[in-house]
Structure 1
């Protein structure tokens, strides 16, 4: 008898349901979110016929957490079903809109019983690529946190300290640069900044790690910060200065986290055997390469073909046809992290690959906007990456973007 297991995940407990081929309930149990609860689940599966040769497949609404990690370690197929899809399936079994944890567990088990073929199990990625995924995603989150902290601080500075923004307007990184953060920490208000001497500014630059051109930069900043400007009332200016220091501490932490996680992600990425192939692509460095590997994994059976990977990344178009209506549009349901990495990759490839630049220009000439042309280029590059990883060969520019052969007219006999 073939059986299927569904687990309704919750923070403190999980409801388990096992059904047979006919949809009959074989067993049910509520387990705790701890080691004892996991042992109860293993015992329940064993009583239902679980064995190493034919492990019982499990459907659950999340792909993360200790319970999922332990289930994957047993070698069984684990299906992470989207909660929205579970809600749609629930209507097949009850019209009264009844909902409970046990009902959801039964629905999850029945999803595998009836529609297992249309759902994909979690990929069998290596432990190393799972670690890369943790670091790469955390680094991307840290970059987003840094951007948010930067925007909050910049918005406040515009209200009372515009001379500081002008002083670092042309510097790469703006106020996120270590020199800018060190100067702001030394003088959080325009009144304090006007009282700084070039020597004070030079000392702040040294604390930030600057080693060259310190005197010239200190003189430039002294002139910029001492320029005449409008002021808030003194007490209001002091209060805004205290607020700026609080936001600056958040920005310092975000910058440190982004840099530290980027280093860790790159170091782990370098240890993976696919790193050499991935970084052989034009415009694909170690950090963005780590993000790409984190999302596609190293389970080569995960994507049946190139189009499956492109669809997962959202670069392949989607077609909606009904009767005489036919609409081709870009995908909105996709892996957002992989789509973002593909966008950055395609943009970098414009200056690193003549073939990629020519492909982009052809798309622009044909009527595509900038974003659409980059998405089309990302689609092309992802196809090349899938092919190179399958055959274990590095990227070759002349093969990926071969020059079109001129059309030859047939000669007369």
Structure 2
């Protein structure tokens, strides 16, 4: 067996090679380039011809370097950086060469229970990438909307009155892009407003023009001319950016549904008329059977878990991976519980937290569970973490048994476990 420890970076990687008999035998540095990675693979295969017997330990599970090592057939064992930090010695001195040596020793230690990386397939990898991009775009939307609302409050109150509670509506954003100041909107004729609404496929163009007139006629505090001039370009820029984000997220949502079900949703009922099982993510219909999981949220959860649910030996393994499982600390007279695990997949943890919140209005037992936690003096987020932990347990059982979620069946099993009458 050959052990490889890698301390990775953006431009180069420190590497340590070792064997069972001699320990670490050599250390060197390679460039983050095709030639550098190819040289590492060739050097390792000269020492160990069987790629399955080459164990690689490094502090990441994603990236082009990891994919190249997997393509070479090596066994990749990603570890948390804290595991390496605890082995640096009393001073905990950070040194790239020493970290590579420690990773190599971890690779040679067969008694170290390290999980072999099971890579995502094409469907899972695309779903995870789209889900992460969509989540980042949602944060950008909230940030831009908050900034746009603040600018409109000081310079363009009629736009806020027109938008109401839906400032991010495409019609409102297109209006701000075309007329970024209140004076420019007031100068537009009724015919221009009707034509604008009709071009944007608004259902009631005349009614839209009347709403614009009412918003402009509503009394408001005077605005400063210099602020209006200064904010006009920023308002138009925010509107353009929000429209682009809206269109991108619509396309991503459509693609998420295709990946989960193996075909495009059509019709008013948004069903897949002719699904292709070969193009569907494994268990995609199971994810969508859960209350609170639509295309976007189901794609985020499924993309982070991956196609291979068997990589988690139990539901607790999945809960720990998502950071939902509490950690108990007992020592002497001290006994306390840490609610959130520090080492976890934060993308999956955030998605499960949102899933738990969305399920409150769609699942009776979930609402009952949440209310019981609140009655027990738990905070809102603690109650959602506990509910998300329970949802992951149910999800693991459904995925391993290849069955859709059944609310009535789960409620019956829950009542039986709690000793309640049916």
The TM-score normalised by the length of structure 2 is 0.86
Is 1:199 aligned to residue 187 of structure 2? no
Q: Deviations over 1:358-398 (max 9, x none)?
A: 33333333333333333222222111110011111111112
Of 209, 219, 224, the residue aligned with 1:228 is 219
Q: CA deviation at 1:98?
A: 6.7
Assess if the C-alpha contact under 8 Å between 1:6 and 1:106 holds in 2: yes
Q: CA deviation at 1:282?
A: 2.0
Distance in 2, matches of 1:381 and 1:242, equals 46
Map 1:13-412 onto structure 2 (within 5 A): 13-21=12-20, 24-52=23-51, 54-91=52-89, 95=91, 97=93, 99=95, 101-114=96-109, 117-170=112-165, 174-210=166-202, 212-270=203-261, 271-333=280-342, 334-402=344-412, 404-405=415-416
Distance in 2, matches of 1:40 and 1:96, equals 31
Q: CA deviation at 1:407?
A: 6.0
Residues 1:362 and 1:97: Cα distance change in structure 2 (over 3 Å): closer
Distance in 2, matches of 1:292 and 1:23, equals 44
Distance in 2, matches of 1:143 and 1:302, equals 30
Structure 1 unaligned regions, length at least 5:
409-413
Q: CA deviation at 1:45?
A: 0.7
The TM-score normalised by the length of structure 1 is 0.88
CA RMSD of aligned residues (A): 2.5
- Which runs of at least 4 in structure 1 moved beyond 6 Å after TM superposition? none
Residues 1:225 and 1:117: Cα distance change in structure 2 (over 3 Å): farther
SS at match of 2:244: helix
SS at match of 2:127: helix
SS at match of 1:371: helix
Q: CA deviation at 1:105?
A: 1.8
SS at match of 1:89: coil
Mean CA deviation greater in 369-378 or 2-11: 369-378
Aligned residue pairs, count: 399
Assess if the C-alpha contact under 8 Å between 1:182 and 1:204 holds in 2: no
Q: Deviations over 1:99-118 (max 9, x none)?
A: 2x433321221232348634
Q: CA deviation at 1:51?
A: 0.7
Mean CA deviation greater in 200-209 or 146-155: 200-209
Structure 2 unaligned regions, length at least 5:
262-279
Q: CA deviation at 1:58?
A: 0.6
Map 1:2-17 onto structure 2 (within 5 A): 2-17=1-16
Assess if the C-alpha contact under 8 Å between 2:24 and 2:104 holds in 1: no
Assess if the C-alpha contact under 8 Å between 2:256 and 2:299 holds in 1: yes
